[in-house]
Structure 1
Amino acid sequence: MADAAFYIPAALKAELDALFDGTWLASHPKVAALLRISDKTLKQLGDDGLIRYRLRGRVWRVYAREDIEAYVGAEPCPSTARNAETAPTARSSGTSTSSSRHRTGQVVVFTAALARERARKRSASRLRSES
């Protein structure tokens, strides 16, 4: 059953109960569907050591209920964490929709800004070549 250290939402507990009804291991595709992630993402999580799996035979991954609960309950969701200091922070994606030339908080249409910048550089280049 669930470890007391992990918070598992009631809806997910019900889904886990249905998935593990009469068995103690669940297949890779069923666990991916339960977690609402792709098979490939689940495989990567296992490869990265973020979720424990067992091999059935040489290639089939299967998951125990306690391993799924440990994964789900391991890291609090930043938006619902009770203590903001311990919640993980969002990582920057590396792309930006504004720049220092725009007012803070102003959203800039990225492609339009890029087109304006390219046009400015072309006109500056033409002016230099005509001189």
Structure 2
Amino acid sequence: MIDTQEGFHKYLHDFNSGNFYDFVPKYYAEDAIFEKTGYTIHGAQNLADHFSQVLSAVVKEEITLIHYIKKDNLVAVELQIELIAIKDGFYIKDRKKGEKEIFYDTGFYNIENNKIVHARVYRRFTDRDTIDLAKMYGKE
């Protein structure tokens, strides 16, 4: 599924839809491991719960693909993330409704039988002096 750039665009489209209880089983193995800076989630059900109950409780996340590389059963991507607070609350930090933040992730996805079995995602926060890579590479 994500083993092509077009497939990864579909993955992001489905993620951005916010329907995580359909999204996760479509793309992740039941026993998948999802590592992100600061935490590790074991199992597709726990990942769907995290996306639905923790992430979506405070923010809407829009992800844009900047770079895509595939070698054998490994997909590597660079992503631009835009978080928009949908209410006051805590996700990574305290947020106020309407607040926006842009940062970048690099992800490595191991694929077996058309499902992600292991994802490792590293985050780089930005500040006012950081270049918008999507604009820089003409992806907007």
Q: By the TM > 0.5 criterion, same fold?
A: no
Decide which structure has greater helix share.
Answer: 1
TM-score for both structures, normalised by structure 2: 0.19
RCO higher in 1 or 2 (8 Å CA, sep ≥ 6)? 2
- Structure with bigger gyration radius: 1
